[in-house]
Amino acid sequence: MNPVIFEPLEQQCAGRQHVCGVDEAGRGPLAGGVYAAAVILPAEYQLPGLNDSKKLSPKRRETLFGLIQAQAAAWAIACASVEEIEEMNILRAALLAMRRAVEALPIPADFALVDGNQPPPLRIACQTVVQGDARCASIAAASILAKVARDRAMLELDARYPGYGFAQHKGYGTKAHYEALARLGPCPAHRALFIRNCKAG
């Protein structure tokens, strides 16, 4: 696999010492929280195969998860719960998770590069980057931390609520998931609004 050539977006943030990349995982599923991560990468790092988390195998994501945590100047993972998603809608909950991740960094960031086109409500300046997880190394790193953390959380939910297949589909609306919902009904891990919208559709 050819290495991804990332744009030097972090270096283009003139005068900023601690630029973090920010991304989220889990906006689309029918169950589970939405997770976000923030990562400040050092000037030099060795993360072979770093890429948008969606383009990596689960095994490769797990490997990079540990490497990112070991090599990052700072990293943090946060989430917004199912209850918060229900209360404020998924977009606002995702932005809340992003804000929590940035604010949890052990080294405070002074600028954020955020995947997508919606900036979270941060206390620092930020720039949104469309398809940032494929363009920016620190955003790609954040996407991996968020994705792996959420997948691990779904494994825990699979053990707590057996029968839904959370370990396999991670809460997404697969045929098997809809069949389990029809058979068992929703559990506390499900996003009730998402399920109602699916039935309405």
Mean of the per-residue pLDDT values for the chain?
95
Which of 93, 114, 85, 100 is closest to 21 using CA atoms? 114
How much is the average pLDDT of 38-65?
A: 96
Domains of the chain: 19-200 (3.30.420.10)
Instruction: Count Cα neighbours of 82 within 13 Å in the Cβ-side half-sphere.
Output: 19
pLDDT tens digit sequence for 126-182: 999 999 999 999 999 999 999 999 999 999 999 999 999 999 999 999 999 999 999
